[in-house]
Amino acid sequence: MFERLRRAVNELVERLSTVELTERAIEEELETLLLELVDSDVALEAAEYVVSRLKEELVGLRVKRFADRGQVVRSKFREVLREVFDRAGRIDLVEYVEELRVKKRPVVLLFLGPNGHGKTTTIAKVAKLLMGRGITVVVAASDTFRAGAIEQVEEHCRRLGIRVIKHRYGADPAAVAYDAILHARSKGIDVVLIDTAGRMQTDVDLMEEMRKIARVTEPDLKIFVGDALTGNDALDEARKFNEYVGIDCSILTKVDADAKGGAALSIVFATGRPIAYVGTGQGYSDIMKFDPEWFIEKIVGKG
């Protein structure tokens, strides 16, 4: 997990451990780091920011005579990464839902993201997570566009024992979501999870439809589901959804298969919003609360 990005950081630390931290030496090494970050799925804009901040921190830095220069560089790298994640903040999705449900109304969570990112499976995982805390849920099958989408949601919910609100294919997705909210309100269900079509970020008509769903349902959270394996597209995808609909947090899938590691940094940088969870497998329990310190430690090491 994240081997390539960790290797890039280790190589930078090793090189800077053997040279004087002059501006010229640092610039040369950071030019190499920039390329390695991009090659590790960190979007160019995010990579340029990290490199620029590292340069500010390292140029002119005085290292004590017997200090470990490599550890000093690692420490500065950790600080720069923390800045990105601290700016985005943090969110505990379960705690957030528990705080809102005391208002005796359904909490509405809208899930959005491109095709193939694992959105429907992620909804099932979140449903199981909430149910494990005694929170009742219903799912809105608002992907009325993709063939087989409704059946996919129904199968997940059948396994978990959850009710699905659905219409026919081609129906108005916003109407399906609204009906699910009405159902939850009438039955005293705590949370509505809205599944949506896999909107390609370049398809304006479909993005406008997503905006309509958000307007009609007024979700408490709009959750972007991103794929850790999407490479440098992660930043553009997340940014487009944020521009059209607004993103409150993200869930990153397939992290267990991610050998590069840059997608998490790219998505947080693009949206300025936290990652709530990461998917670590295909099982319904394979979801882990995202901790920036865990990510930083995986990339830079302990410190």
Consecutive H or E run containing 137: strand 137-142
What gap in Å lies between CA 8 and CA 250, rounded to an integer?
25
CATH code reported for the domain at 93-290? 3.40.50.300
Q: What angle do CA 266, 270, 271 make, to 5 degrees?
A: 125
Range(s) within the chain of domains with CATH label 3.40.50.300? 93-290
What gap in Å lies between CA 141 and CA 162, rounded to an integer?
12
Q: Residue 112: beta bridge partners?
A: 224
Under 8 Å CB-to-CB from 243, ≥6 apart: which residues?
A: none
pLDDT of residue 224: 93
Coil, helix or strand at residue 208: helix
pLDDT profile of the chain (303 residues), mean per 10: 80 78 81 87 87 85 61 87 93 94 90 87 96 97 90 96 95 96 96 86 77 95 89 75 91 80 85 93 93 89 69
CATH 3.40.30.10: does it fit domain 3-88? no
What gap in Å lies between CA 51 and CA 57, rounded to an integer?
10
pLDDT of residue 29: 84
Range(s) within the chain of domains with CATH label 1.20.120.140? 3-88
Residues in the chain: 303
Sign of CA dihedral 35, 41, 43, 46: negative
Within the chain, residue ranges assigned H as helices are 3-16, 23-39, 44-58, 69-88, 93-101, 119-131, 149-160, 173-187, 204-217, 233-244, 262-271, 292-300
pTM: 0.90
104 φψ region: left (φ > 0), alpha (ψ -120 to 50), beta (else):
left
Q: How many CB atoms lie within 10 A of CB 95?
A: 10
